[in-house]
Amino acid sequence: MIKAVVIDDEIKSRQVLKDMIKKYCTNVSILGEASGCLEGIQIIKELKPQIVFLDIQMPDGSGFNLLEEFEKHCFEVIFVTAYDQYAIKAIKYSALDYLMKPVNPEDLIQAVERFREKSFSGEINQRLEVLMQNLGGGSAKPRKIVLSTAEGYHVVNPDDILRCQSDSYYTNFYFVDGKRIIVSKTLKEFDEMLSDFGFIRPHKSHLINLKYIKSFLRADGGFIQMTDGTEVPVSRRKKDYIVNIISNT
CA atoms within a 13 Å half-sphere pointing along the CA-CB vector of 226: 24
Find the angle CA(10)-CA(13)-CA(19) to the nearest 5 degrees: 140
pTM to 2 decimals?
0.84
132 found inside a domain: yes
What whole-number distance in Å separates Cα of residue 155 and Cα of residue 70?
21
Closest CA to 140 of 82, 77, 194: 194
> Of 90, 106, 136, which closes a domain?
136
What whole-number distance in Å separates Cα of residue 176 and Cα of residue 159?
9
Question: What per-residue confidence (pLDDT) applies to 249?
Answer: 67
Task: Look up the domain containing 237 and give its range.
Answer: 157-247
User: Tens of pLDDT along 107-127?
Assistant: 999 999 989 887 655 588 889
> Of 106, 136, 166, which closes a domain?
136
pLDDT above 70 covers a percentage of the chain that reads 94
14 pLDDT above the threshold of 90: yes
Question: What per-residue confidence (pLDDT) applies to 242?
Answer: 82
Rounded to an integer, the average pLDDT of 75-101 is 89
Question: What per-residue confidence (pLDDT) applies to 141?
Answer: 59
140 pLDDT above the threshold of 60: no
Q: What are phi and psi of 233, to 5 degrees?
A: -70, 150
CATH label of the domain that carries residue 124? 3.40.50.2300
Are residues 110 and 182 located together in one domain of the fold?
A: no
27 pLDDT above the threshold of 60: yes
Q: What are phi and psi of 146, to 5 degrees?
A: -115, 130
Compute the Cα dihedral for 145, 110, 61, 123 and give only its sign. Answer: negative
CATH label of the domain that carries residue 169? 2.40.50.1020
Are residues 165 and 233 located together in one domain of the fold?
A: yes
66 found inside a domain: yes
Number of domains present in the structure of the chain: 2
151 found inside a domain: no
Rounded to an integer, the average pLDDT of 39-51 is 97
Question: What per-residue confidence (pLDDT) applies to 220?
Answer: 66
Question: What per-residue confidence (pLDDT) applies to 78?
Answer: 97
Give per-residue burial for 58-93: e unless 16+ CB within 10 Å, then b: beebbbbebbeeeeebebbbbbbbeeeeebebbbbb
> CB neighbours of 58 closer than 8 A, spacing ≥ 6?
7, 8, 9, 35, 36, 37
139: pLDDT confidence band, cut at 50, 70 and 90? low
Are residues 123 and 166 located together in one domain of the fold?
A: no
The mean predicted confidence, pLDDT, of the chain is 91
Neighbours of 42 (CB within 10 A): 12
What whole-number distance in Å separates Cα of residue 219 and Cα of residue 153?
39
Residues in the chain: 249
> Of 136, 169, 193, which closes a domain?
136
167: pLDDT confidence band, cut at 50, 70 and 90? very high
130 pLDDT above the threshold of 80: yes
150 found inside a domain: no
26 found inside a domain: yes
Question: What per-residue confidence (pLDDT) applies to 179?
Answer: 97
> CB neighbours of 236 closer than 8 A, spacing ≥ 6?
221, 222
Are residues 109 and 185 located together in one domain of the fold?
A: no
